[in-house]
Copies of this chain bind each other. A is one copy, B any other.
Amino acid sequence: MSGIKTDRRDFQLIFCYLPCDLQHYWQCFTIVVTFVSDTSGEVAASLHLAKEMRSHGKRDKATKLYLHALALEPHNVEVLTEYGEFLEEEHNYMEADHMYTKALTVHPGHTQALTNRLRTLPQVMEYERRYFTTIDKKRDLLIQVPLNSAALRRIKQESYYFYIYHTNAIEGNTLSLGQTRAILETRMAVGGKSIVEHNEVIGMDEAMKYLNNTLMDRIGAIRIEDIMEIHRRVLGHCSPLDAGHYRRTQVYVGRHIPPHPIEVENKMVEFNEWLNSEEALSLHPIQYAAIAHYKLVFIHPFVDGNGRTARLLMNLILMQAGFPPVTIKLEERHEYYEALVKANEGDVRPFVQFVAKCTERTLDEYLYAVEENPTKDWPHLSSLDDGKVIIIN
């Protein structure tokens, strides 16, 4: 099949209109792409050379060769499995587990990947358990701070502006943190900035007030209507005719093609069932919040404002579990999108890890702010090493 040119976009455009299950398509599609690809010779050569470098202890060169092979064929099961084994040797169980998971998404019965994953999964789960325990302890510390503490009120207020600034900036809003704050305090326009950007700030303010004043006080499950009401506020001032309504057109999010518009309503009903399922409610709140976020942006039910709505839904779940609202920073955008891409490829764990890291960082910031005469610097780094290298005793 060497020499046959294929354009992934063409496949996606054709498949997205077929009324069947998306994940299944993704598998078929990636197998087809892999099969007809004309890069197979180069990939095989890279893999062969990587093995040789690895056996000679030239790990840097081996890494480059594995990554080159994966760049050519990101869904090549052999490369994924072998690179996973290589990462295991470096004690990077998290990334290794991700490689096996990705391989198994493409080829669910792949024996080597299955066997390898039996090794990595318990380690990853143990790491997660420990990390969640660390974060829960920090949350419990914060809960002990009296609600009338002036320092707590201040950090809450600051975090409010901070959140609105970052959640909009991630989507391309160019207003600075200071300008965002001025808009919220004065409702006056900043000359030279677009009106839409102002309305994004006002919309987020209304959506967050709705979360704090209405949804947080309500007892009971999260409903589709709650998500619609959040979106109605997020996008209300920017696109009043789209706000609170499902999209009626196909949308494209990078390589991800969300469900066809006629499927959106059913997908949202399924999502809502999951949100209130025993399975979801038995997860750690961070897992629950992160997966809810991922599932919502996967469906991408709205023409715009999906990310902002998903981050608010994530925070609704976290806040209901006693966490402060968690900010995903503009500087973390690349990492955030990468984790979402990995989730689209079948492994949601890196995204859960990412949300956990943001939760911990937010907690550190709160705890630092309420501490009297703090002895350390402003917490910029996570207390754990982001799970890149785990050594389990």
Q: Give A contacts to B, CB under 8 Å.
A: 183, 187-196, 198-199, 202, 232-233, 236-238, 240-241, 243
A–B Cβ pairs within 8 angstroms, 29 of them: A183-B195, A187-B194, A187-B195, A187-B196, A188-B191, A188-B192, A188-B193, A188-B195, A189-B190, A189-B192, A189-B195, A189-B198, A190-B191, A191-B191, A191-B192, A195-B198, A195-B199, A195-B202, A198-B198, A199-B199, A232-B240, A232-B241, A233-B241, A236-B240, A236-B241, A237-B237, A237-B240, A240-B240, A240-B243
A202 to B193, CA, bound (A): 15
Q: In the complex, given contacts A187-B196, A189-B189, A198-B198, what are 14 additional A-B residue pairs having Cβ atoms less than 8 angstroms apart?
A: A187-B195, A188-B191, A188-B195, A189-B191, A189-B195, A191-B191, A195-B195, A199-B199, A199-B237, A232-B241, A236-B240, A237-B237, A237-B240, A240-B240
A194 to B193, CA, bound (A): 13
Q: How many copies does the complex hold?
A: 2
B-chain residues with CB within 8 Å of residue A195 when the two chains form the complex: 183, 187-189, 195, 198-199, 202
- Contact between chains at A188 and B199 (CB < 8 Å): no
Enumerate the 8 nearest inter-chain pairs by beta-carbon distance, A residue then B residue, closest first: A191-B191, A236-B240, A189-B189, A240-B240, A195-B198, A189-B195, A189-B193, A237-B237
